[in-house]
Structure 1
Amino acid sequence: MNVTNIGILDSLSDLKDLDWDGDIKKKQTGLNLLIVCLISTWPHNGCEIQECRSESFTLHNLCLGLPQIKEQEEPNSTSWPDYYLDQINAMMTLVSTSGEDEVANRTKVVDSLKTALRTQPMKFVMRFLDLDGLSVLLNFLEKMDYETMESPIHTSVIGCIKALMNNSLGRANVLAHPTSINIISQSMITENIKTKIAVLEIMGGVCLVPGGHKKVLDAMCHYQQFASERTRFQVRF
Structure 2
Amino acid sequence: MGNAAGIVEGPQAKEAKMVSGPPGSTGPQKQTAGLKLPMPPEEELEERFSAVLNTMNLPPDKVKILSQYDSEKKWDLICDQERFQVKNPPSAYLEKLKSYLDHGGVSRKFKRRVQESTQVLRELEISLRTNHIGWAQEFLNEENQGLDVLVDYLSFAHSAVTYDTDTLDNGSLPTDKGKTMDKSLEDLSRSASNSPSHSALKASKGFTVRKVVRNSRVVSQKDDVHLCIMCLRAIMNYQSGFNLVMKHPCCVNELTLSLNNRNPRTKALVLELLAAVCLVRGGHDIILSAFDNFKEVCGEKSRFEKLMEFFRSEDSNIDFMVACMQFINIVVHSVENMNFRVHLQYEFTRHGLDDYLE
Instruction: Settle same-fold status: TM greater than 0.5.
Output: yes
Cα 1:143–1:92 change in 2 (3 A) is: same
Question: For residue 141 of structure 1, what is the aligned residue in structure 2?
Answer: 154
Cα 1:232–1:85 change in 2 (3 A) is: same
Question: For residue 158 of structure 1, what is the aligned residue in structure 2?
Answer: 229
Deviation at 1:78, TM superposition (A): 3.6
Cα 1:212–1:132 change in 2 (3 A) is: same
Deviation at 1:174, TM superposition (A): 0.6
User: What do residues 174-224 of structure 1 show as CA deviations (whole Å, max 9, x unaligned)?
Assistant: 111122111221222222322222221210111121111111111111101
User: Are the counterparts in 2 of residues 78 and 84 from structure 1 also a CA contact under 8 Å?
Assistant: no
Q: Give the root-mean-square deviation of aligned CA atoms.
A: 3.2
Deviation at 1:18, TM superposition (A): 10
Unpaired segments ≥5 residues, structure 1: 1-12, 20-70, 72-76
User: What do residues 12-50 of structure 1 show as CA deviations (whole Å, max 9, x unaligned)?
Assistant: x99x8399xxxxxxxxxxxxxxxxxxxxxxxxxxxxxxx
CA distance in 2, matches of 1:109, 1:151: 13
Number of corresponding residues:
173
Unpaired segments ≥5 residues, structure 2: 1-39, 47-81, 158-215, 311-358
Question: For residue 92 of structure 2, what is the aligned residue in structure 1?
Answer: 83
User: What do residues 85-116 of structure 1 show as CA deviations (whole Å, max 9, x unaligned)?
Assistant: 111111222476648x964x321210111111
User: Are the counterparts in 2 of residues 150 and 190 from structure 1 also a CA contact under 8 Å?
Assistant: no
CA distance in 1, matches of 2:122, 2:299: 31
Aligned residue among 176, 182, 185 for 2:253: 182
* Percent identical residues: 30
Question: For residue 206 of structure 1, what is the aligned residue in structure 2?
Answer: 277
User: Are the counterparts in 2 of residues 185 and 219 from structure 1 also a CA contact under 8 Å?
Assistant: yes
Q: Does 1:132 align with 2:203?
A: no
Cα 1:182–1:18 change in 2 (3 A) is: closer
Aligned residue among 300, 306, 317 for 1:229: 300
Deviation at 1:150, TM superposition (A): 3.4
Q: Which amino acid aligns with 2:295?
A: Q
CA distance in 2, matches of 1:143, 1:102: 13
- Name the TM-score, length of structure 1 as normaliser: 0.63
CA distance in 2, matches of 1:199, 1:113: 18
The 3-state SS of whatever aligns with 2:226 is helix
Deviation at 1:136, TM superposition (A): 0.1
CA distance in 2, matches of 1:151, 1:117: 21
Higher helix residue share = 2
List, as ranges, runs of 4+ consecutive aligned residues in structure 1 with deviation greater than 4 Å: 94-97
Question: For residue 121 of structure 2, what is the aligned residue in structure 1?
Answer: 110
Cα 1:142–1:102 change in 2 (3 A) is: closer
User: Are the counterparts in 2 of residues 110 and 156 from structure 1 also a CA contact under 8 Å?
Assistant: yes
More RCO (CA 8 Å, sep 6+): 2
Q: How does 1:8-157 map to 2 (within 5 A)?
A: 17=44, 78-94=87-103, 98=111, 103=115, 105-130=116-141, 131-144=144-157, 145-157=216-228
Cα 1:210–1:94 change in 2 (3 A) is: same
